[in-house]
A and B are shown apart, each in its own frame.
Chain A
Amino acid sequence: MSATVAEYAPRLEALARKLGLDYHPVDFELVPTTFMMEVAVYGLPVRMPHWSFGVRYIHQLIRRGMGHSRIFEVMFPGDPCHAYLVSTNTLAENTLVTAHVLGHADFARNNQLFARFEQMAGTHIVEHAAAQAHRIEAAVTEFGQQRVEAVLDAALALEPHVDTNTELHRPLYPARPETAPAASPEDPFHQRFKGLPGEKGAPATSKEPGRTPVPPNPEYDLLWFIAHYGPELQDWERDVFLAVREESFYFYPLFACQIMNEGWATYWHARLLREADFLPESMYLDAIKAHSDVVRPFAAEQETALAVNPYHLGFSMWENIIEKQGIEKARQICREEDDFGFVRNYLDRELAEKLGLFVFQAREDGEIKITARDIDGVREAILAPKFNFGAPRIYVSELRHDGTLVLGHDHHGDGRGLDLDRATRVLEYLRRVWRRPVILHTADAHGAAHELTARKNG
């Protein structure tokens, strides 16, 4: 069986290159379903051990047991890319998946978000993550499970709290404020500006030089901040935070481009199979059947779904774009956008109507109602879960002299306050590694300011 996939794969690749796909080579590996499940749980083939993955693993097992979830393929961008196919899938399915992976590989090489990450972190993140996992396992041997777990509890809880707009390898804050431009008197523009009538010199800054506030501005990259400014962290603990942060950077393009990426890969597997005249007729039919299962918007025998299938949405959008504006335009979009730009700029009213997209509201009493079908509402409803890596906007607002860490939550921006129970527990995780008090400002159920504190012995 595997030999036959290997037989078609090179010919599919030749076809893909002929059609203009441009990608790093892909290492395909046929793996058992159990391994596939684990990859889906961990997000990487080899990743640090943590009990929370065990919980996700059991959920995944249960879902698989109920037949709800079937994973066809997992692909890790890099050079080479790594793709895993399920060894028990049929030949037709795996042929389809091979074509699909080539689409992903093309996307990952060309999209700007992926390219930016690759440029910052290199192309061997899979190997890198494995090395980090081994270092953490070594730390377990050296420092004991409890201590390593405490660090991972904190670091993994903050997984989405990174600032992907900053550099992966980012310099520390400058020690003193960069001398204000006003302080350079020889600047001819400022000299003449000051000479204007009615213009006084800048008021003498009363701030004593030396200590700048840390952070100088609200800092949204919590993992980075803790790794570098934790007052009592040991080096290996800082490394754990940075390891989680690096993986988080790696996951971000996948997260932020899911609709585009899955749609693109689906478009290409459909097209490659259609044009692969070397495939036997029966296999093509089987593969296309698998394709229609993947892009099905609703569960069987249902007419509505309370979720949008990213494969279906992305695929429909790419077909629409390519049909109306041509493949070159599509390639440009593929390079330049992420899901936010993609959905806002290219999901038009006509397509949304054709797909039957709507906004719904679910009340606590269980009533679910369609509330709108206008295009702006639909776009924002699709994108809402993707803002800020899907997490509340939490920032470091102050590092006090006594080492107290003060966090803030942008509850105006997020629309409501945090789940206080969970937030308290996260603060407790943090306190154990920060080793000084940790404070968080958010809003309570009535929108009033609320302060949570985690400190030792209470």
Chain B
Amino acid sequence: MSDDLVTPDGQPPSRISAEVSWYDLFSRGARDWLRHNEKVREAVKQRVREFISAPDVLTRAEGRTVLVPVRLLEHARFRLRDPETESGAGQGAGEPGQVLRPAQPQAGKDEGAGRGGTGEGEVNFVVELKIDDILDWLWDEMKLPELKPKQSSAVEDTELVREGWDRHGARSRLDRRRTVKEAVKRRAIQEHPVPFTDDDLRFRQLVRRQKPATNAAVLFALDVSGSMGETERRLAKTFFFFALQGIRRQYPKVETAFLAHTVNAWEFSEEEFFRTSGTGGTAASSAFNLGFELLHSRYDPARYNGYLFYASDGENAVEDRDNAAAALRKLTPELNYMGYVEIRPSHGRSSETEMSAILTELRHDHPAVGVARVTSQEDIWIALREFFQQQAGQAEAA
């Protein structure tokens, strides 16, 4: 800019600058947006149960995050109520009385959409939440106890731990500090010391030790007979999901197996599990037997903390009653815990079912058995709380 340009009234001329400024490095908008998101998370946290019960939340369950659809927060201001008709000024061709846009069949519902420039429109977005965070909130809110691994001495892993020293060993276990100490001691009493001798060398030793198992195996068994509809399955899925997450909180390594049964039982992958459907009768014993086999072939009860969750609408063939009861009596002692969820969204809580009769009887002898009934999403939390509290109580007692 030239200096000779002085404005007529003697004022300094305007200037133009283009140096790099703070705003290249810092965005206030982004800062306040992050703060908004934090508040959204707080809001989600406070109403975590409602959010999580929404049916569309669990779709990303295979990852470690879930997507929760939320609305932008609105900073409220005083505003007049929406009028039935809104007037404004416009510009263009047309005579009074002319209709610029006819009534929209659905406009009543999506409120305000398309109205002459009234606002910012609805923006929906999803927040991605870590499942661990959600569970922390849930556990806090429901005051759920933390699970404890089975205390029984039967459940043991072996591990190698360092213990003691020896003069012989592999080079990789050479303990340099101790070796030098030995060398220093020796040199202190020798008249013509050499820096190191073979006698100075010390090697770390390893020993095998038993430690409590920290693995868990969770078997999910689902009745997929004709009577289990879409709603029942969704409830079962939600329940299983959170039961599994609850167990994952406690065990570093959790293995899962998914069993579905009608008259026979099969193992499925997680994806197939909830899509499977069958027809015909129901024989729960098939699933319990398969569970028992799996436990012994794959998840040695001595090494794994075993859990079985079974979801069903409670129907079971009468002729299978004895078989099912026997299978459960065989299976239950091998498990840390067995949970039975009876899903009867359309039946209410009234009648005693075949399965609940079997389980109720089983509970007399095996305290590590839980029974809960689920008729709606909200019941899932009650069921979870019961299971986890009861089970923690078991672990305390053991």
Contacts and interface: CB of A to CB of B under 8 A. Distances in A.
Interface in A281-301: 297-298
Given A303-B92, A303-B93, A364-B107, A391 B77 contact: yes
A234 to B, nearest CB: 22
A362 interface: yes
Contact of A54 (B34, B90, B98): B34
Given A25-B12, A62-B123, A358-B94, A419 B82 contact: yes
Given A2-B16, A54-B37, A365-B107, 20 more contacts: A25-B13, A27-B14, A38-B28, A42-B29, A47-B28, A53-B28, A53-B29, A54-B29, A80-B14, A297-B92, A305-B90, A313-B91, A359-B87, A359-B89, A363-B84, A365-B104, A368-B116, A394-B78, A416-B83, A425-B76
Contacts of A158: 77-78
A10 B16 CA distance: 10
Contact of A50 (B27, B32, B114): B32
Interface in A6-58: 6, 9-10, 13-14, 17, 24-32, 34-35, 37-38, 41-42, 46-47, 49-58
Contacts of A131: none
Nearest to B79: A419
Interface of B: 1-2, 5, 7-9, 11-18, 21, 23-24, 27-37, 39, 72-104, 107-108, 114-117, 120-121, 123
Contacts, number: 284
Interface of A: 2, 5-6, 9-10, 13-14, 17, 24-32, 34-35, 37-38, 41-42, 46-47, 49-62, 80, 87, 145, 153, 156-161, 297-298, 302-309, 312-313, 355-373, 378, 381-382, 384-385, 391-392, 394, 409, 414-420, 422-423, 425-426, 429, 445
Identify which of B27, B29, B74, B96 gathers the most chain A CB atoms within 10 Å of its CB: B29
Contacts of B32: 49-54, 57
Given A28-B15, A51-B36, A54-B36, A305 B81 contact: no
Contacts of A27: 14-15, 17
Contacts of A355: 91
Contact of A370 (B30, B33, B98): B98
Contacts of B94: 304, 358, 370
A306 to B, nearest CB: 3
B112 to A, nearest CB: 9
Contacts of B90: 304-308, 357-360, 370
A5 to B, nearest CB: 6
Contacts of B121: 59
6 contacts: A50-B35, A51-B33, A52-B75, A367-B104, A384-B89, A392-B79
A445 B35 CA distance: 35
Task: Identify whether the interface residues of B are mostly helix, strand, loop, or mixed.
Answer: loop
Contact of B85 (A42, A358, A361, A385): A361
